[in-house]
A and B are shown apart, each in its own frame.
Chain A
Amino acid sequence: MNALIIYLLACGLVFLSRKDLGSLWTKLSLFTATFLYLSWGLNYFSAGTMALVGSAAAIGILLWATGSEKAHQAFWHPVQRVMIAPGWSKGLIVGILLIPLGVGIQVYRSAAAPAGPPSTSSNANLAPLLVAAGLEDNALTATSADTPFAAQLALVEKDPRWPLTEVVMDHHSKRSIADSQIDSTLVDALPQDGEDASWDSIAATRLDMIPADSTLDQDHAAEGEHSAEGGHHAAPEPEVPRFSVKSAYSSEGVAFLVEWSSTTDEPTGTVQAAIQLANTDENAAPPHFLMGDSENAVNAWWWQSAENTFSEFIANGMDAKTLQSDTDQGLTGSVTVEDGTYSLYMRRALETESVSDVQFSGGDYRAFALNLWTGAGDTLSHTVTGWYSVHLVPEVNQAAVVQPPFFFLATLLFLGLIVRGTRQRAEVGDLKEAELLPASTDAGLLTRLFHEGEESPHLVVDDHDDHHHDGLHWSQWPDDEDMGHATQGKIGMWLFLLSDCFSFSGLLLAYGILRAGVDVWHCTPEVIAAGIECGPIEPEYGLDFTAALTFILICSSVSMVLAIGACMENKRKEMLFWLGTTIFFGAFFLLGQVKEYWGLPGLGGVVEPIHEGFGQWLHHGLISEGLHWGESHRATTFYLITGFHGAHVTTGVCLLSWTFFKAYRGDFENADYNFMEIIGLFWHFVDLVWIIVFTVVYLIPANHGIV
């Protein structure tokens, strides 16, 4: 709604300030307003592509649809004016154009920030409680996130619940955000009980336990930070040191698997456990107290061993628990005990009809805590966790997969329209405005370099075609003193390849620096067995397989050069054959790379790496085997470098396909091999770079003894 208001305001301003709808300024304002309106709430990537497509569309329409002369007046003329304006006024014009853009982006950035996890501080909910207790001054301090304890410390003696709160807060403040989150994985079918094999692939989060009757002083005394002079008892060792929690959800519901081991050999008496889920709005801070307070209810899923029942209750405080009616309870579960290890499985539908229940949907963050009671009566021991948050990790948005390529193609289309528009204009021949520009900018740098001392060439294409000289093969250029027969396109490609070479050099040098800088480059079971600490165990690369891919690329290089040769000799069939072969090998290489990353389709899942014999040809992909982007220098640089090269191969295959189309259409008749040679240069370069990448990334072995 905000976006719509801004959009309408912008449109209104445009109409009020300038009635001339044909002016560039009007179009620009309308375009900006439309962009803001449409991009509101999108992520950066989508908004960026939209801006690109939108700009291209606007310019394309200007140049193409409004006719050449109008387009010229509306676009090129102002641009040229800006270009030739003195420095200060150019700055002014650019500033005027950029300020609204910058403001727009700022507004957009603040609006499109993705929803993060909820604040881990529950102090916001503390304030009303303090006010209710007649302690407004403390309430003011308590609302500040910087002083979480000031108000509480003053109240420790006032309420039996404060000590616990204090300890929980203290533990809370020591946790990192990553430690505080339990990811609930989206699965096709919900695990049916605690022993379901599908739990194996879900990562567990460990939750710190706190004895419910401990205080901060006791806690510190136990850690030896305080002397025992205060007369407190040393905190009893909690019977259960840690919980391990796994979670999964599907359209059927959400399931939790909580595991803990009893430290006593024979668990005695009854055992009860409860999952607390704060019934606050999504992403809101949880209630200050575990088990909630009068304003903030908590929905708890409760299991007790005596009758092995699962039930839900609503809590408005430790002593204000209300069991929900039978009809409200959709909770099911099971418990297994093995060698003193409890596995508590609970599940419920994502949404229920009861307003008291916590409702789940994909992407939600929900405050989560655990309680455990063992024994009964005098021997009752109660342990709790602080608030954690459960994140129902949403499915990858399909739009994020589909949109970028679509926008990319659309952008290409519009850029094509622009080119077509300018070409049409050039054909009209009305380039009088070019005289606005200083003569020195008429020609490109290369042209000026090659024609030093000659009369400055003009943009206007006249009848004189200076590369058709008698005596030369028609596709050849006249000899240049420095560059020989090389066409400008070819020189341009060489310069591009040089720059690309620097890109790869940068990546490979960074790779070398990272590799030399770590003690253990490749963490294997052997390294760990040798007593060296290292990160996650990673698979070997399939050397034989990659060597075969290298051979494929070499094959594609020779077929490329043969295609160019056939083109030179004007042998159409042979040219098409070798060109097709090159495309085939290129695509084959890409498929090989996909298989290397993700494995063959149908072989998914986590498996033991296979390295022996032909087994590795069927391996399950490096990702399944544990080579994960971001988990080690080795993995990240591997995907970065081979992925960057893969992007080059993809580009090459696209260019070659285009070349094949042109060849088939007959563009290269009369042995005009210039275009194909330029594309060929790119393709050979891709091969050349792979030779280096293959050597550096795959072949040079790990050397833990030296680097």
Chain B
Amino acid sequence: MATEIHVPRKQYWLIFFLLFVLTMIEVGVVFLPMSWAKMVTALCGLAFVKAYMVAIYYMHLGHETLTLRFTALLPMLIPVFYALILCTEGAARLYW
């Protein structure tokens, strides 16, 4: 039962197009008249989506087993968690 090798070229180009569009949006967001906090949230959200697309589609993490996905991604929650703690601390310094 030889595994059929299928290369999803269309998908790759679609992701490429999306990455390009999202980058354009990112650069555009900087010039929009919105509050600093909203802008940072929007930029981080866009960056996360782009990084996620690269990891899942280009790095084929979507095709890997759950164990490998967790091995690679779950520990990344630690710096995210740490960043959130720092944000809380920063917010506390600002308002209390």
Contacts and interface: CB of A to CB of B under 8 A. Distances in A.
Contacts of B50: 691
Contacts of B46: 695
Contacts of B75: 498, 502
A688 interface: yes
Contacts of B23: 547, 550-551, 554
A656 interface: no
Given A482-B67, A483-B65, A498-B72, A707 B59 contact: no
A542 to B, nearest CB: 12
Contact of B43 (A491, A509, A513, A695): A695
Contacts of A684: 54-55, 58-59
A512 interface: yes
Interface in A555-569: 555, 557-558, 560-562, 565-566, 568-569
Contacts of A695: 26, 43-44, 46-47
B20 A554 contact: yes
B96 interface: no
26 contacts: A471-B2, A472-B2, A473-B2, A482-B68, A484-B64, A484-B68, A486-B65, A491-B71, A494-B71, A495-B71, A498-B76, A501-B79, A502-B75, A516-B90, A554-B19, A568-B7, A684-B59, A685-B59, A687-B58, A691-B50, A691-B54, A694-B26, A699-B27, A700-B39, A701-B39, A706-B37
Nearest to B30: A699
A687 B54 contact: yes
Interface residues on B, range: 35 or more
Contacts of A473: 2-3, 5
A20 B65 CA distance: 58
A692 interface: yes
A476 interface: yes
Interface string B61-96: 000110110011001101100110010001000100
A358 interface: no
A671 interface: yes
Contacts of B79: 501-502, 505-506, 509
A471 B68 CA distance: 24
A451 to B, nearest CB: 16
Contacts of A155: none
A471 B1 contact: yes
A173 to B, nearest CB: 40
Top 7 A-B pairs, shortest CB-CB distance: A565-B7, A505-B79, A695-B47, A482-B67, A484-B65, A558-B16, A703-B36
Interface in A666-683: 671, 677, 680-681
Interface string A468-482: 000111001000001
A694 B71 CA distance: 26
B3 A476 contact: yes
B76 to A, nearest CB: 6
A543 interface: yes
Contact of B55 (A491, A555, A688): A688
A497 interface: yes
Contacts of A705: 36
Given A472-B3, A494-B68, A558 B55 contact: no
B40 A700 contact: yes
A556 B72 CA distance: 23
B56 to A, nearest CB: 11
A695 B46 CA distance: 9
Contacts of A557: 16, 19, 54, 58
Contact of A706 (B36, B47, B58): B36
B78 to A, nearest CB: 8
Interface in B7-52: 7, 9, 12-13, 15-16, 19-20, 23-24, 26-27, 29-30, 36-37, 39-40, 43-44, 46-47, 50-51
Contacts of A685: 59
Nearest to B2: A473
B7 to A, nearest CB: 4
Interface string A485-505: 010000100110110011001
Instruction: Determine which residue in B54, B64, B71, B82 has the highest number of CB atoms from chain A within 10 A of its CB, and name it.
Output: B54
B3 A513 contact: no
A330 B55 CA distance: 70
Instruction: Determine which residue in A494, A497, A695 has the highest number of CB atoms from chain B within 10 A of its CB, and name it.
Output: A695
Interface string A391-416: 00000000000000000000000000
Contacts of B9: 562, 565
A680 B55 CA distance: 11
Contacts of B16: 554-555, 557-558
A491 B67 CA distance: 11
A350 B7 CA distance: 70
Contacts of A512: 83, 86
Contacts of B65: 482-484, 486
A543 B27 contact: yes
B26 A688 contact: no
B3 to A, nearest CB: 5
Contacts of A692: 47, 51
B35 to A, nearest CB: 9
Contacts of A497: 72
B9 to A, nearest CB: 6
A671 B2 CA distance: 13
B12 A565 contact: yes
A306 B9 CA distance: 87
A506 B39 CA distance: 23
B16 to A, nearest CB: 4
A706 B76 contact: no
Nearest to A555: B16
A551 B18 CA distance: 11
B37 to A, nearest CB: 8
Interface in A575-610: none
A561 B12 contact: yes
